[in-house]
Amino acid sequence: MKLKNLFILALVLANTLISCSEDDADLILPPETINSFTYDDKTEEINRMAMIKCGGSYAGFYLSSGTLEYKENPSTVSELLNPISGDGSRIVIELGDNYSSVRNLIRNGEYTFLGDELSVNYVDVSTFEEGNPIPSILDNLIKATINIKTDGDIENGVYELSFEAEFESGKKLNGYYKDELSGIRNGNCE
């Protein structure tokens, strides 16, 4: 009798484990620590998040890991976003606000890829060695959600940013950052 009950319990547990793993196959799991991101099953710590400001308008954020260093006074988009030295990864998130003709305000809310109100226009993940990009195939964004909370001071406040994205290749990105900005990256983005 005890052996029969033990066998039935083992079957129930096995069925539960199998059904849970099948249900969780499409979930994007959160990173293991705050101020980190996971891309293509590799988790990295975010050590810098800066606001991107193009021609006076707030356009989004870049987040980086490792030892990446950027040009102090960029004058082109390339200088604004690409490191000049170091190793690590960089994420660029471009946002849009369809309520205004210029992207002049990043506000609290949920932004979605090509959303009607608050829009994620672009997400890119690049890896660098000694300041040089490691070649990769352009991977088109198919889905993204970015949640932004700030204490209201757009340039000096504490930001809480959670994000997830999916690309045509099937690669997934997700992450979380909560801290003050590392800076404002100003540039002419024309």
Percent of the chain with pLDDT over 90: 27
Work out the angle at residue 98's Cα, subtended by the Cα atoms of residues 177 and 181, and round it to the nearest 5 degrees: 25
- Which bin fits 116, alpha (ψ -120 to 50), beta or left (φ > 0)? alpha
3-state SS of the chain: helix, strand, coil percent to 5? 15, 45, 40
For range 36-49, the mean pLDDT: 92
pLDDT of residue 177: 93
Q: Residue 51 forms beta bridges with which residues?
A: 61, 184
C-beta neighbour count of 152 within 10 angstroms: 8
Average pLDDT value over all residues in the chain: 76
CB contact at 8 A, 180 and 188: no
CA dist., res. 34 & res. 148, Å (int): 15
CA dist., res. 101 & res. 182, Å (int): 27
Q: Tens of pLDDT along 90-142?
A: 998 888 754 444 445 677 888 888 776 778 888 889 999 998 888 777 788 89
Query: For residue 105, how many C-alpha atoms fall within 13 Å in the half-sphere facing its CB?
Result: 12
Instruction: Report whether pLDDT(149) > 50.
Output: yes
Domain ranges in the chain?
A: 29-187
Return the structure tokens found at 178.
Answer: 């909560």
* Phi, psi values for residue 15, rounded to 5°: -65, -40
pLDDT of residue 190: 54
